[in-house]
Structure 1
Amino acid sequence: LIILLAGAPVPSVAAKYGSYHDIFCQLFHNAFKSQSSTSAPSSGLRVISFDAVAEEYPTESELDSAKGLLVTGSASSAYEQVPWIMCLTYFCAQLPESHPHLKLFGICFGHQIFAQALGSVVEKNSLGWEIGVRGVMLTDVGKRLMDINHSGTIHLHQLHQDHVTSVPPSCFSIGYTLSCPIHGLVRYTPDVEHNPSDELANISLLTVQGHPEFNPDVTLRVIDERERIGVFDQELAEESRQYAQMHDDGVRFGGLILRI
């Protein structure tokens, strides 16, 4: 799996948990452990990461040999007209045709980058921030992917003010909240007959607005830092801390990435 790092954790998170490379590796380690022997892959996962902010990208050989590529979250906005974000958007727009074998994944900012690359508009949400663990109501497609039939809801850590405003062509929404109508996307391999019994094999893109890689401590540390530098006011920070400590399904979502 190739990871394109679109930023770095806040200092207090980095001091305890390392880089986003380390944090995602821990997510996948936990997901491996949580899966039964019948569903877990038979071999380990090798992860290599590149600094997208520094415009570092994998070689053609590395792309050809990889099975998947993931774009991480970022403190930046996908619509910023800065060179590294424009380069990343262009790179992601080319991947479905240039390397159709790759399974593509986007997390938060990465979700927005892929949506933007496929033709959607990303903008600041007029309803404000979503922070902490929030229940995402799943669409029928999302329920099938998460294998959830009862509650129809998945709980994930959130930390975003921007959002995707429309579903790109050939994609499907996987979930929504009252303040964010598109909480993730799935796209199936073109020209492949859709077989519900083998749905995961036909997925070419999966994105999510939330942060399956976060745990309560990570989210709390980010809230503390954002309050310290004035991004969050005291009222928003205190409310968000309550949501940050709720149960989340991040490891379960990490398992979905592994199965794809």
Structure 2
Amino acid sequence: MLLQQRNDEITTNGATQDQRNADDDKPVIRMMVLETDEPDDETKERKGESFGEILHEHFAAAGAKHDPPLGIETDRRFVIPEKGGKIPKYEDFEGCHALLITGSVYDAHGDDPWILELMELLRELWKNHPKMHFSGVCFGHQILCRMLGATVRPSPSNEWELGHSRVELNPVGKRLFRTDDDYVHLHQMHQDQVVEPPTVGSAKGLLEKGTEVEVWGHSEHTKVQGVFIRGKLFTTQAHLAFDKGMVEKQIEMRMDMGSIEDTQHANEAAETADMEHDGERVAAAILRFFHDEDDGVE
């Protein structure tokens, strides 16, 4: 088991970056994970103590299959103050060139003080850390798009997109995921969505004139399944690291909270939890993005 301590430990494979580079000269991606939620107790026992730990393992597996292999270091920070977390400072990101924001039960369009503080941090990093690569999952995808001026709100029907879902790929998505298929399958757990991708105008100075903001895929439920800005941003609405147990538990928790009211829809989605999905393909694509490969997307 990897040794990890909240808010002050870099996750490694038992060696420092210099030691690993000396051993195999493997490039290493240094990723900061901002945790905006905690796993349930069952998931902690089975998968890891935090979403950052779970994502580290997911990206480490993708890195091992990269040609040549890529290493991954993960510094994880839990950011919700009322639950014992803290928003990191700009200085804490020195030496990191990849940022990933997790999913959350919180609304990315909300005005909770920690969400507003997080957005200020993201703006500062975006403006003053030009080599930083930004990524986000579900809530993370939405908060990054909101930071760039996009509107985030519940779906018009108030329906949830749950469980194993088909995401249609456009040419950008096909190139990013290195596939000729017209779609990927991914696990979803959201009601809120990004209505339209950010624009140079909506970003109010955060995007240079001429910056191309591209959506890489859509589903029947959600028009913007992910956003891509070459060398800067790669997000996904779907959960790339969810498995059967996590999908089932997350649906159960949201039903218990009263967030999901359509019991039939929830039960049908839970039954899809064990179906194969393309989360590893998405992790591999984001890792290539972190490594400045961008896979020929123009």
**Range into which the TM-score falls when normalised by the shorter chain:** 0.7 to 0.9
Q: State the SS of the aligned residue for 1:12.
A: helix
Give the corresponding residue for 1:22: 53
Q: What is the Cα deviation at residue 52 of structure 1?
A: 1.8
8 Å CA contact 2:79–2:88 kept in 1: the answer is: no
Q: Give the drift of 1:51.
A: 1.6
Alpha-carbon distance in structure 1 between the residues aligned to 2:88 and 2:285: 24
The residue that corresponds to 2:27 in the other structure is: none
Partner of 2:114 in structure 1? 84
Matches within 5 A, 1:118-197: 118-127=148-157, 128-149=159-180, 151-169=181-199, 170=211, 171-188=213-230
Moved more, 173-182 or 60-69: 60-69
Structure 1 residues 58 and 85: CA distance shift in structure 2, 3 A:
closer
TM-score, normalization by structure 1: 0.87
Whole-angstrom CA distance in 1 between matches of 2:163 and 2:68: 30
Secondary structure of the residue aligned to 1:105 is strand
C-alpha distance in structure 1 between counterparts of 2:126 and 2:116, whole Å? 17
- 1:39–1:129 distance in 2 versus 1, CA, 3 Å: farther
Task: List gaps (5 residues or longer) in structure 1.
Answer: 189-202
1:206 Cα offset (Å): 0.4
SS at match of 2:272: helix
Which runs of 5 or more structure 2 residues have no equivalent in the other structure? Answer: 1-30, 200-210, 290-298
Cα RMSD between the aligned structures? 1.7
C-alpha deviation, 1:113, in angstroms:
0.3
**Alpha-carbon distance, 1:243 to partner:** 2.4
Alpha-carbon distance in structure 1 between the residues aligned to 2:259 and 2:108: 18
Provide the secondary structure at the position in 1 that maps to 2:61: helix
Q: Greater relative contact order (Cα 8 A, min sep 6): structure 1 or 2?
A: 1
Of residues 239, 247, 270, the one that matches 1:241 is 270
CA shift, 1:39, in A, is 4.0
CA distance in 2, matches of 1:230, 1:10: 17
Q: Is the 8 A contact 2:215 2:226 kept in 1?
A: yes
Residue 285 of structure 2 corresponds to: 256
State the alpha-carbon separation in 1 of the partners of residues 255 and 192 from structure 2: 18
Please give the alpha-carbon distance, in whole angstroms, between the structure 1 residues aligned to 2:152 and 2:121. 17
Q: Does 1:218 align with 2:246?
A: yes
Higher Cα Rg: structure 1 or 2? 2
Aligned length: 241
Per-residue deviation at 1:59? 4.4
Does the CA-based 8 Å contact 1:220-1:244 persist in structure 2?
yes
Tell me the distance in 2 between the aligned counterparts of 1:156 and 1:236. Answer: 17
Q: Distance in 2 between matches of 1:20 and 1:39?
A: 27
Q: Distance in 2 between matches of 1:39 and 1:107?
A: 26
1:137-162 CA-partner distances (Å, limit 9, x unpaired):
1121111111112x221111100000
CA contact (8 A) 1:40 1:259 kept: no
1:14 offset after TM fit, Å? 2.6
Of 209, 228, 231, the residue aligned with 2:237 is 209
Could you list the runs of 4 or more consecutive aligned residues of structure 1 that deviate by over 6 angstroms after TM superposition? Answer: none
CA contact (8 A) 1:72 1:107 kept: yes
Q: Percent identity?
A: 29
Query: In the alignment, is the contact (CA less than 8 A) between 2:80 and 2:87 conserved in 1?
Result: no
TM-score, normalised relative to structure 2: 0.76
